[in-house]
Amino acid sequence: MRHTLLVVLTCHFLAAFTVLGVPLYLPRLLSGFGLGEQSPWAGVLFSLPAVMTALSAAWWGRFADRYGRRLSLQRALAGLTGAFLLAGIAPSLPWLIIALALQGLAGGTLAAANGYLSQHMQGDALAKALNWTQFSARLALLSAPPLIGAVLMLLPHIGQHLWLGLSILPLAGLILSLKLPEDVTTSRERVTSPTSTERPALLPLWTLQFLFNFAMVITFPYFLPYAVHWLHQEVVTGLFYSWPHLIYLLLLPLWHRLRGRSTFFVPGMLLMALAALWHGVLDDPATLLLARTLFGFGMLLAYSGANQLLSETIPRNSAGKQFGHIDAAGKWAGVAAGLSAGWLVAHFSLQAPWLASALAALGAAFIFVTSSLRGSGYVRITRGS
């Protein structure tokens, strides 16, 4: 089973590296299509893959439940490979738009990977596996931008061919996925429609995931102008932004020695809310580092609790569909966070997104405490189904 998890994590990392590395440099890449770096097209094309993934994630989840979750993972890797190949040879902006739409429409590697793992693991083992898929995402988020930046520095004229080169990574993941064990699906597990007992718990679960992702993402678009007047150098600002993700990477292996519980989610969200409020009033680099550290600890606790909750709550027979819904909730949260951050900064201040982050985190904690997710009755029903 450890070999299976390692293969899935490698496939997911290769896909995440490809997807997360390009957006930072999208304005520069669009200059090859006759657009300035401050063109509004950069914002539109930045959001397009996320919107398409959000629209298609649940459908691909149902596809996974019906035709196989290994096949769905391979479908996501093949779709990402095709989208980046098309972007790399796109002769015009409309073709590039089609390629980026295809990236979102045929993507969803995280949901596909989690859906596949749910068929081979349960309980605490699945919760830890979901933590590791987040680990691979954080690792890609930290490593892809500087490495791709180095490529652009060494090959300044590479332009859109960057997409062409990056298509090799999901293709390698697709080839590697052939080593994964085939799905073992019984006719009973092919039932994918939630029962009336499942629906009440799943709706707050989707809402909780939306608020959790919103709380994390809304501070991203304007972190540079928020912090650069204290830190003065963009590279230092980038390091401060990445610090919570680095904490997650460093502490997760140690954290896994403890037995995970879904109740970690509430203290995690409370720490994130406190850290976000602190960001809104601090005024020096040392305090900023402490606030970023607190935010990182909150992320670690919240992700651990959320993934334990997913492993206990999502029915195994419709895991593909439900992980698709979870992925869609995260993507819609990202779109809503980007739009909200722009509106808040334009009408209030650079500190306003931090207040919105704190409110979203508190809202997620409130939903957990007041909904059926807090109890164990649904968990027993799900495991006994």
166 has a pLDDT exceeding 90: yes
Domain termination residue (choose one: 183, 216, 232): 183
Q: Count other C-beta atoms under 10 Å from residue 85's C-beta.
A: 19
pLDDT above 90 as % of the chain = 27
Domain termination residue (choose one: 155, 183, 211): 183
Is residue 258 within 8 Å of 127, Cβ to Cβ? no
* 139 shares a domain with 254: no
* 161 shares a domain with 252: no
* 85 shares a domain with 45: yes
pLDDT tens-digit series, residues 196-233? 444 545 677 788 889 998 998 888 777 777 877 777 76
* 118 shares a domain with 95: yes
pLDDT tens-digit series, residues 87-139? 999 999 999 999 999 998 887 788 788 888 888 777 777 878 888 888 898 89
CA angle 212, 217, 222 (to 5 degrees): 150
Segments forming the whole domain that contains residue 2: 1-183
Q: For the residues of 62-85, what is the DSSP string, one character each?
A: HHHHHH-HHHHHHHHHHHHHHHHH
Number of domains in the chain: 2
239 has a pLDDT exceeding 80: no
**Residue 171 to residue 80: CA distance in whole angstroms:** 8
* 178 shares a domain with 265: no
* 101 shares a domain with 201: no
**Residue 221 to residue 216: CA distance in whole angstroms:** 11
pLDDT tens-digit series, residues 21-33? 888 777 778 888 8
* 147 shares a domain with 39: yes
* 43 shares a domain with 169: yes
pLDDT tens-digit series, residues 304-333? 888 777 777 766 666 666 777 777 788 888
* 355 shares a domain with 232: yes
Is 200 within the bounds of a domain? yes
- pTM, to two decimals: 0.76
* 210 shares a domain with 79: no
* 257 shares a domain with 138: no
CATH number for the domain harbouring residue 71: 1.20.1250.20
Give the DSSP letter of residue 33.
Answer: G
Is 297 within the bounds of a domain? yes
Radius of gyration of the chain (CA): 20
Nearest Cα to 305, choosing from 135, 124, 136? 124
Q: Count other C-beta atoms under 10 Å from residue 36's C-beta.
A: 11
**Residue 355 to residue 338: CA distance in whole angstroms:** 15
**Residue 300 to residue 290: CA distance in whole angstroms:** 15
